[in-house]
Amino acid sequence: MTKSNRAGPELRFSWERASAPADAILHGVEAGAFEVARDGEARALMIALDRDDPAALDAPFLGLKFGLGDAAIDHSAR
């Protein structure tokens, strides 16, 4: 699936092992956490902004929309 995707860091796209979010969720469940947010304070602030003002969070990503479309035009989940 990842072979056909050409989106990179210039489009705020990054790769990680599939086990990384699963591990974070597992640790959260074990700790009795109500929420699991990875990537520290920056991610926590982004989540709070999304709750309070979703349009403000969306605005910076609108400029990336066409670049992401071009990068993923040949992308396939097969």
Question: Please, what's the largest Cα pairwise distance for the chain?
Answer: 41
Average pLDDT, the chain: 83
Ranges of each domain in the chain: 17-71
Residue 3 is which amino acid?
K
> Quick one: CA torsion of 68, 71, 77, 78, rounded to 10 degrees?
170
CA–CA separation, 7 vs 54, rounded Å?
24
Tokens 């050409």, residue? 6
The reported pLDDT for the residue numbered 3 is 64
Tell me: pLDDT of 68 over 90.
no
Q: Does residue 1 carry a pLDDT above 50?
A: no
| Segment 38-61, tens digit of pLDDT | 888 888 898 999 999 999 988 888
Tell if the pTM clears 0.75, that is, is over it: no
